Amino acid sequence: MPNISTRGKNMPASPIRKLVPYAEAAKKRGIKVYHLNIGQPDIKTPAVAWQAIKNMKMEVLAYSHTAGNESYRKKLLQYYKGVGIDIDIDNLVVTTGGSEALYFSLFSCLDAGDEVIIAEPFYANYNGFSNAGNINVKAVTASIENGFALPPINEFEQAITPKTKAILICNPSNPTGYLYTKEELYALRDIAIKHNLFLIADEVYREFTYDDQQHFSILNIEGLEENAIVIDSVSKRYSACGARIGSVVCRNTEVMEAIIKFAQARLSPPSLAQVAAEAMVDVEASYFNSVLQEYTQRRNTLVNGLRAIEGVVCPKPGGAFYATVQLPIDNSDKFCQWLLEKFNDNNETIMLAPATGFYATEDKGTQEVRIAYVLNETDLKRSIEILKKALVSYALL
């Protein structure tokens, strides 16, 4: 039998999706599974998206422009201006989801053997795409003790080698929900300029910030005009994950020329979904206000409920809709699988994402899980109740 590639063998499994077979098996046994493992919002996609598709007068489902439909890109300029970011149409490329924007950015800026510094825990696909490109991840570890704030800047400095080409952050963070301060971002700017590095920021959750805190984009940091690259997506903003529409934004002409070449190789982003995404730019502010109110309540329900369980440590997220939580367990991978294979409470259980997959450093995250609070409040409360009972049963094993 032919051998698969070393790249294929070394590609890490997603901590978010690798337990899906166990969840499917549980459902076949009649167990209801509450999905806290994946950031799939249950908020309705804005009606204007469906209306735009319904009203389309497209007789041929053709390729779009490689960089995305011009009408959508012009609309995106309006969106970015509305959130305080002034760019030109040549500064953005529409992508097939934020994942492709990440892939284009990493492959345009780093060669095989180069290094990217990432604060861990981080979104698992950062590791996956880096691995696929033979790019080495240098992790700087954030601590649950201070809510996963940016690690000391001197640790970034110490991690830099002649092979280091970029620093990658997620703001607000998936998987921790941490919202970086302006001071932290300026500290990263100084490092990026001093060492001539790209600063890549995944800002797909910019609309989800709590407690009157404001998101600050790296595109608005002076001095970073040639260094800053932003990954973006409509997936979470409009609860449209299946649209697979994202964008990469950068003022560096050379970077954008490289990204266009990668975009040409994949031909074009989805045509139908761009029609929906373009329409959603006009969504009223009241939509975001109600969504933010809902997620604020869910966050508070989750944090308060988890903190009431003995041995559980749960920082209060400042943004996004995730929390990385420490549990009184020995191994998060084993525990999360056990929840689906062996445990149920009245034929109900929960699916969590083991945090080991969000770290590059071996043996990190073994007592942590990521929880996505994307369920309605009733289901969220029930999930917390199930977790509490599960921890008691697991401790008796």
* Whole-number pLDDT of residue 8: 83
pLDDT digits (tens, 9 = 90+) for 254-274: 999 999 999 999 999 999 999
Q: What is the mean pLDDT of the chain?
A: 96
Indicate if the alpha-carbon torsion angle 359, 40, 339, 311 is positive or negative.
Answer: positive
- Grade residue 7 by pLDDT with cuts at 50, 70 and 90: confident
- DSSP string spanning 370-388? EEE--S-HHHHHHHHHHHH
Is 16 a residue whose pLDDT tops 80?
no
Identify the band that residue 339 occupies on the pLDDT scale cut at 50, 70 and 90.
very high
Domains, the chain, with CATH or none: 6-44+286-395 (3.90.1150.10), 60-280 (3.40.640.10)
**pLDDT at residue 5, rounded to an integer:** 85
DSSP codes joined into one string, 106-155: HHHH--TT-EEEEEES--HHHHHHHHHTTPEEEEEE--GGGTSPPPPHHH
Q: Which pLDDT belongs to residue 6?
A: 83
Q: Provide the pLDDT for residue 11.
A: 81
Whether the pLDDT of residue 17 is over 90: the answer is no
- Hunting for tokens 């180069």 — which residue is that? 114
Interval 69-90 mean pLDDT? 97
Helices (H), the chain: 6-10, 20-28, 47-54, 70-82, 97-109, 124-132, 153-159, 182-194, 253-265, 271-280, 285-307, 332-341, 377-395
Q: Does pLDDT of 364 surpass 90?
A: yes
Confidence of residue 368 (pLDDT cuts 50, 70, 90): very high
pLDDT, tens digit, 9 for 90 and up, residues 156-179: 999 999 999 999 999 999 999 999
pLDDT of residue 174: 97
Dihedral angle computed from the Cα positions of residues 239, 372, 342 and 331, in that order, rounded to the nearest 10 degrees: 140
Higher pLDDT, 51 or 10: 51
Q: 185-232, pLDDT tens digit by residue?
A: 999 999 999 999 999 999 999 999 999 999 999 999 999 999 999 999
For residues 178 and 147, the answer to whether their CB atoms sit within 8 Å is yes
Segment 373-394 mean pLDDT: 97
Model confidence at 375: pLDDT above 90:
yes
